[in-house]
Structure 1
């Protein structure tokens, strides 16, 4: 196994669309998610770390499951139960989500968000991944109804989608068929727990390796090693400043996982970036998020 670590080039990473593109990479990971699922939100730190350390080895395909979208709207007991699940998940995972949404502003049409993700995907996997992330931020942190068309259009514009094309696609048969295809894949692969990851290599005769639920980061690395027989050394992460610049809004938990830092170390490093006016602190119900500041956006990007 090579001990030489590749340099992480943020600019080239963005240009190449990194692991969300369809390239000649030895592994493809199907990530089964539901936009309303707090456990899928809790998976984000692990995905980011894999993304940075081994993204050159795999591409990602998000498969939108309808597990939570089957919510029977209008039943108060269902809303109360979901609120409790969100609160417990946020408290355990460090990825904040506010269960009061289900008591104050419940999602009126859960399927709409799933269709919207498939509409975004018609403009490319990278943009769809950005759309999904922003959708989660708006839902879990801002407690907004992501089934409303005006909210979805706002999100589409904020992540760089062609808004007029998105408006057409969200009502198209292509987006609806894309979602139905995802539901079929979920059923055929017997995915019964969300989130789940299924790892495939290019040998079509070999079955994929399915990981249901969330496991420690090393489990996913071990699977990559098992499928490839050996791994290159993991890429070093970019500077914290570059990390924030790329992702715009990140949880303290994501920084902890990606950089192997303690909470106190993260707080110390982020205070330094606050003084440089690179980031702004965004308190959440559970934990803290950090946002790349508009002032820094207008300056030259960091090296």
Structure 2
């Protein structure tokens, strides 16, 4: 991580104290983690002024050491289920937003494009697609800083006794209070209700979603279903409005084997 990325981090993340912190535990290549990301995005849009997020990445690490020690495996051919998590930690060294972009693109490749994201060449392709500095990403992928960051995530996962991915642990400002753990995937309303309870049960003020162009600047690309849920309309109504944006050459429609994505032109 160079000085320019450190300056970017300061601009991106001014210190703001929020009453609730969410520890979000993900395995990037699991479908439920992808689904949870959509829920988190909606909750950030509506209630993000009440909470901050810390992403904790994990993976099944069986046989990783054995694979690393195999002298016949070249770096360009190396493949393992833990590599996507390592890649996200490497991307985060270029800034929090860079890390978030990389994580979303990685899940897009896995869930929508059916790509094998456990291979090093694909992870490099994702870095290019996420607009990262590719040379720096390649160096950081093997750096001690990335290894330590990933090991820290694994330690937190173990200490908090996280046994299922995805999971979220909610903490409030009172350090004496225990966190509230939700293991697995739940409907949006469950997470919203727990957040409200962590705030003492007072009714939360929901923020209005931003304009579509601002939304797509923040999240790069979204599915029809996500956009419909964010704006509280039907998928049919959302698609109708999005098609109008396509005709105005403001939005691009991207077809994938499993879903339709929308991004800024």
Same fold (TM over 0.5): yes
What do residues 114-170 of structure 1 show as CA deviations (whole Å, max 9, x unaligned)? 111111223333321221111111222223332333432333344343433322221
Matched residue of 2:239: which SS?
helix
Match of 1:214 in 2: 185
Match of 1:33 in 2: 26
Match of 2:173 in 1: 202
Matched residue of 1:289: which SS?
strand
Question: Quick one: structure 1 residues 15 and 232, their matched pair in 2 at CA, closer, same or farther if it must change by over 3 Å?
Answer: farther
Alpha-carbon contact 1:120-1:131 (below 8 Å) kept: yes
Matched residue of 2:189: which SS?
helix
Match of 1:60 in 2: 53
Alpha-carbon contact 1:45-1:257 (below 8 Å) kept: no
Match of 1:128 in 2: 99
Match of 1:94 in 2: none
Alpha-carbon contact 1:46-1:257 (below 8 Å) kept: no
Match of 2:68 in 1: none
Question: Quick one: structure 1 residues 161 and 282, their matched pair in 2 at CA, closer, same or farther if it must change by over 3 Å?
Answer: closer
Distance 2:48 2:113 in 1: 30
Alpha-carbon contact 1:39-1:194 (below 8 Å) kept: yes
Number of corresponding residues: 243
Distance 1:237 1:161 in 2: 28
Match of 2:41 in 1: 48
| 1:37 CA displacement | 0.4
Match of 2:116 in 1: 145
Specify which structure has the bigger relative contact order, considering alpha-carbon pairs within 8 angstroms and separated by 6 or more residues: 1
What do residues 15-63 of structure 1 show as CA deviations (whole Å, max 9, x unaligned)? 9647xx7642221111111111011111222111111111122211111
The RMSD of aligned alpha carbons is 2.5
List gaps (5 residues or longer) in structure 2: 1-8, 65-77
